[in-house]
A and B are shown apart, each in its own frame.
Chain A
Amino acid sequence: MTAPAISAPAARPRLNFSAFEIFVIGLVVLLLAIAIFGPLVAPNSVYNSDIANSLMPPSADHWFGTDDQGRDVFWRLIVGAQTTLLSAFLVVTLYSIIGVTIATVAAAGPRWLDEGLMRMTDIGLALPGMVVALGFAAAMGPSLQSAVIAMAITGWPITARMLRGIMRQTMEAQFVAGAQVLGVSRWRLMTRHVLPNSLDVLIVKWAGDIGTTVLVLASLSFIGVGAQPPSAEWGATIASARGFVSTAWWTVVAPGAAVAITSIAFGLLGDIIQVRRDPSLRGN
């Protein structure tokens, strides 16, 4: 990870976007819009069962067909976007905050504190998120809440370690030494100069992480330790439809595609931000 160009003032962002970038950003905005406004525009019937019409293939009435309870798959996806994306945002924001805090304290503080916090981070890294989520489900009962908490708890170590590495590197840079000689306190240095530049990297990670978190949340719901039925969360939807792969493929393909598209879109967003920040990475 190269040290960000902190010595120079931030370059003016280029305002002409390529077609590809516009497409990705547009997609992300669309997804966010769906997540925010979706449940408001969805017809009420999406919450009710209509067994007579269950597992109908896609048609003019039901663009993505109906599921095993007769609900419209398309509108359920729209409604489920809110739960899925909101939870993902919550998880990533939570662990980013925790990670930044710990990284800041570790980088700014004395060596022993740094070592201690980094050892804690190592322990955190040793726990696969899926496993901890299962553990929490055992303790607290399976629910979306326990999945969110479990993921927030296992997500911060990577962020913390990454940021702390950058911050330490920055602290060792020439201009910092110069500032210290001038009497600027370590803490002020940290918050005024190092932190804002490191957040650059964080934004990139944050965007990409939304994508992977949507994936992991869906996975947890799939195995039954995340959102429970009849939640329209996308993973739970795939879980309910898993028996119908051969008889009603649209019930499985539609939510899976939704998860994939969301995950890819946010991942690409992260890449775009990264390239804009550091054009030398173009071509990645």
Chain B
Amino acid sequence: MLAFRAYSWFLARRLGITILTLWGLASLVFIMIKLMPGDEAQMAAGADASAAQIEAVRERLGLDAPVIIQYFGFLGRLLRGDLGTSIVTLQPVLNDLEKVLPSTLELVFLAMLLNLAIAIPTGIVAANRQGGVFDTICRVTAVMLGGMPAFWLALVLQYLLGSVWRIVPISGQASFGMAAPAVTGATAIDAIIALNGPAFLDALHHLILPAAVLAALFATQVFRTLRASLLGVLRSDFITAIRAKGASSRRMLVGHALPNSLNPVLTLSGTQAGAMIGSAVLVETVFARQGIGAYMFNAVAQKDSFAVLGSVMFIGSVVCLVNLAVDILQLLVDPRIRAAQLGSQSQ
């Protein structure tokens, strides 16, 4: 079938680009490693390693070989999943990261959910009643929220909602005794796996404020983009034609205008997912949650250079894969992109 062939061609091309990007990322990280001042073997062995231990590490990493051989050795280790060893926990960085990644993922997932769940409906209503009270209030709020530093918002809300009004927990990921047995380390996910209702609700309770704070900035961007896009579509000829045909306002809005305006929103959400993972560190430190952001932050504070660079590689890869997933999603959803992408294959 032609469509199938076109799809798979596109997929292959996209995958190829992703692999290329990952390779570029790895090379960048390698350059950063080489740029670090000091003896690389010493840094890898740990600040107070003995001379013998340092030499052992030098041999294991092959640091005496010419740079190009080291480069391929580095790539080879990456492919095997060896992101280096943390000098403070003495565990492979990948192991450390795997332990904390689910926690960040559940935070970002909830934040993205809140982001879209709030921004899309308000964007639709605001665009529909352009210039009205609701629209003005939303736009002003969007401007205000968009300018506030996330960590400041976190501190203030943590104090007000957590300490003063006591409606959300102050810090941590689970209340005492409420956590389901740890499978992934992410409390909400573990609660789902264990089918433990109270634990899930407790985990959500701990997640809601951090996720809301994380989502705030991104929600304002989605709101503005959707609103602008929708306004543009609503003014277009084809909508006028549908209106002339007598379609109800709601059907026209939701059925025709909305699908055509979602494209920029989807693109935006895709890039936002990556930015959210990066910004998670701010929220994680204020709310004492474990996550890859907090891990990286600690690694920097303790000059655990390989843990830091391993994290950069890891997080960069996660972001790449998320972008790939979003691209595929976009393809499935929007026929214009479909046509453009598939059409371009035939050139």
Interface window among B89-97, B302-310, B329-337: B302-310
- Indicate which residue in B20, B231, B320 contacts A283 across the interface (CB closer than 8 Å): B231
Q: Which one of B148, B155, B285, B316 contacts A245 once the chains associate, using CB atoms below 8 Å?
A: B155
B151: interface (CB < 8 Å) = yes
Query: Chain B, 172-196, contact with A by CB distance < 8 Å: what is the 0/1 string?
Result: 0000000000000000000000000
B197 interface contact, C-beta 8 A: no
With A128-B277, A253-B156 in contact, is A134–B143 under 8 Å at CB?
Answer: no
Find out whether the CB atom of A127 lies under 8 angstroms from the CB atom of B231: no
Q: Is the CB of B274 within 8 A of A119?
A: no
Checking A127, A130, A260, A268 against B279 with a beta-carbon cut-off of 8 angstroms, the contacting residue is A130
B105 within 8 Å of A (CB atoms): no
Contact of B21 among A122, A139, A245 (CB under 8 A): A122
What residues on A are CB-neighbors of B247 within 8 Å?
none
Q: Give A111 to B336 CA distance when docked, in angstroms.
A: 24
Contact of B147 among A127, A132, A225, A261 (CB under 8 A): A261
Min C-beta distance of A143 to chain B, whole Å: 12
Whole-angstrom distance between the alpha carbons of A132 and B305 in the complex? 13
Which B residues lie within 8 Å of A136 (CB)? 32
Is B266 an interface residue when CB atoms closer than 8 A count as contact?
no
A156-B299 Cα distance, complex, nearest whole Å: 27
How many residues belonging to B are interface residues under a CB distance threshold of 8 Å? 57
> Do residues B312 and A132 form an inter-chain contact, with CB atoms below 8 A?
yes
Contact with A along B274-298 (1 / 0, CB 8 A): 1101110110010000000100110
Counting contact residues on chain A (CB < 8 A from B), the size range is: 35 or more
8 Å CB contact of B227 from A131, A218, A284: A284
Q: In the complex, are the beta carbons of A223 and B282 less than 8 A apart? A: yes
A-contacting residues, B316-336, CB 8 Å: 316, 319-320, 323
State the main secondary structure of chain B at its contact with A. Answer: helix
Q: Are B152 and A238 in contact (CB under 8 A)?
A: yes
Contacts of A130 in B (CB 8 A): 278-279, 281-282, 293
B281, A284: Cβ atoms closer than 8 Å: no
Q: How far is the CA of A65 from the CA of B315 in the complex (A)?
A: 41
Q: Give complex CA distance A252, B21 in Å.
A: 41
User: Do residues B231 and A260 form an inter-chain contact, with CB atoms below 8 A?
Assistant: no
Contacting pair A134 B148 (CB below 8 A): no
Closest to A135 in B: B312
Contact across chains for B285 and A223 when beta carbons are under 8 A apart: yes
- Confirm or deny: A137 has a beta carbon within 8 angstroms of a beta carbon on chain B: yes
Q: Does B300 reach chain A (CB closer than 8 Å)?
A: yes
* B299 surroundings in chain A (CB, below 8 A): 138
Chain A residues near B227 (CB, 8 Å)? 284
B271 at the interface (CB under 8 A from A): yes
* Cβ-neighbour of B24 out of A119, A218, A261, A262 (below 8 A): A119
Please give the distance in Å from A170's CB to the nearest CB on chain B: 19
Quote the shortest CB–CB distance from A256 to chain B (angstroms).
4
| A119 proximity list for chain B (CB < 8 A) | 17, 20-21, 24
Q: B312 is contacted by which of A131, A245, A268, A281 (Cβ under 8 Å)? A: A131
Flag A238-263 by CB within 8 Å of B: 1 or 0 each: 10001001100000110010011111
Give chain A nearest CB distance to B150 CB in angstroms.
7
**Contacts from B to A (Cβ < 8 Å):** 17, 20-21, 24-25, 28, 32, 35-37, 130-131, 143-144, 146-152, 155-156, 158-159, 163, 224, 227-228, 231, 271, 274-275, 277-279, 281-282, 285, 293, 296-297, 299-301, 303-305, 308-309, 311-312, 315-316, 319-320, 323
Can you give 21 contacting A-B residue pairs, CB < 8 Å? A119-B21, A122-B20, A128-B274, A130-B278, A130-B279, A131-B316, A135-B309, A219-B151, A219-B279, A222-B282, A223-B151, A223-B297, A245-B156, A252-B155, A256-B148, A256-B149, A263-B148, A264-B144, A267-B146, A268-B143, A284-B231
Known: A125-B323, A238-B152, A267-B147. 19 other contacts (CB 8 A): A119-B20, A127-B28, A128-B279, A128-B319, A130-B293, A138-B299, A215-B147, A219-B282, A223-B151, A224-B301, A238-B149, A238-B155, A245-B155, A252-B155, A253-B156, A259-B149, A259-B152, A283-B130, A283-B131
Q: Which residues of A contact B (CB under 8 A)?
A: 119-120, 122-123, 125-132, 134-139, 142, 211, 215, 218-219, 222-225, 235, 238, 242, 245-246, 252-253, 256, 259-264, 267-268, 281, 283-284
The 3 closest A-B pairs by CB, nearest first: A128-B278, A264-B147, A263-B147
